[in-house]
Each structure stands twice: as structure tokens, then as C-alpha cells.
Amino acid sequence: MESQARGGTRWKRFAVVMVPSLAATAAIGVALGQGALAASFSVSGQEFKVTADRLEGTGFVQYGGVDSGHDLNGDEATRPVAISAFKSAKIEGMCQSVVTPDIPLLGSVSLVLNAGDDKPVEAKNLYIDIAQLDADATFKNINIGVAAGSSTKGPGIGKGDKANPNGFAQEADKAVLTDVKQTAWATSAGTFKLSGLSMKLHKGVKECF
């Protein structure tokens, strides 16, 4: 996927690049585990799955947008997404997975990332392009029906986001999500620190859910 990064290091957005870039993936993954870096992650033409035991975020806003890029055949593709953004977030028990199919001589290969088991993952100015989300959610001081571009609680519309600034949005001072299961196209953060990072390759299909 070749959409613009929202404010950080370009890295085929969200901690999972495929086999040709595996060395770079591991090196950046280690750096993210050791300190806070700007990061922007995606998987070219693929959704990826993320679970979390708990996500607690402050300065929340959610609005509709369009994610542009390419599909697995290299053709241009656009997809509707719900963009969730937080000024800051802490994530406990995070798992992230992506499956790359049809690799010559190997078949499917899965990359699974785990972090935040002993100490929460920390992120600032976090944006997630969501295709599907299941969770138990609690919001503090929520406003529903504000314009996306007029939100004063969240970090604002992300740089490079294709979204209507006058379109429907909701905002809250605080959001707590538990038992999170989501499918996403992209994630970016101004800073992103993954404590206790573990990254593993698996032959075949292995996903977080």
C-alpha cells in the first residue's frame, strides 16, 4: 500500500513487511522495542489482524476516510475505512499478524508480533485505519456527530488522510477498549514504543484471531 505517511518514519505501515524486507523489519522492530520512534506501517495490498487485552487512550476521535493503495496484483485500489485516532494510548497484551500467501517454494508465511505483556505498548498521535473492530468499549465525555475537522479532543485529521473535514465524526476525552479484535489496513504514530517485543515467522497460516 503506498499511501502517504502521517508523521513519521516510512515503513510499509504497521510492523509487518514481507519476506523481501525481513531484515529491515527485524532491525526496526528491535529499535521500536528499545525506544520510542516515529513509525508508519502497512502491508502492501493486505489487511492485517490485531488483538489487545486492553487499549486505553486519551484524546480520541473517529471519522470516516478512504485508504488508497494497491492490491496484491499491483492494481490500484481504494477502500473505505474508519480512522480511529488518539493523542496518546497504552496497549496491553498486543498481538499483530499478517499472512503472505503464495510465496514461491514456501506457500503461505505468517509473521506474528507480540508486545505489551509485562509493560504496556505506548503510542502518541496514534492513527488506525480500521476495516472491522470488535471490543467492549467505554468512553468518557463523548460527543457524537461533530465534524471531523473541528474535533478539539483528538489529534486532528491525520496528514495524508483522505477524509472529509466536514464529515461525521465522534470524539471523547478518553476511550477504554478491552478484548479488542480488529482488522486494519494501516497504522501510524508520532512515537511508538513496543515493550517486550517478540517477532516470529511461521510457515502456513497463523493469526492472532
> Lowest-pLDDT range, 12-21, 28-37, 47-56, 95-104?
12-21
Taking only the tens place, the pLDDT of each residue in 36-47 is 556 665 655 688
Residues 6+ apart with CB under 8 A from 180: 50, 51, 52, 53, 54, 55, 133, 134, 135
Q: Is residue 208 part of a domain?
A: no
- Domain housing 186: 19-203
> Lowest-pLDDT range, 18-22, 28-32, 91-95?
18-22
Give the model's pLDDT for residue 29: 52
Q: Is residue 4 part of a domain?
A: no
CB 48 within 8 A of CB 97: yes
| pTM metric for this prediction | 0.80
Higher per-residue pLDDT: 155 or 27? 155
Q: Is residue 57 part of a domain?
A: yes
Q: Is residue 37 part of a domain?
A: yes
Q: Is residue 87 part of a domain?
A: yes
DSSP string across 100-168: EEEETTTEEEEEEEEE-SSS-EEEEEEEEEEEEEEEEEEEES-EEEEEGGG-SSS--SPTT-B--TTSE
Q: Is residue 14 part of a domain?
A: no
CA distance 156 to 60: 9
Q: Is residue 153 part of a domain?
A: yes
Taking only the tens place, the pLDDT of each residue in 94-103 is 999 988 888 8
Q: Is residue 9 part of a domain?
A: no
Q: How confident is the model at residue 69 (pLDDT cuts 50, 70, 90)?
A: low
Query: How far is it between the farthest Cα atoms of the chain?
Result: 54
Give the number of domains in the chain.
1
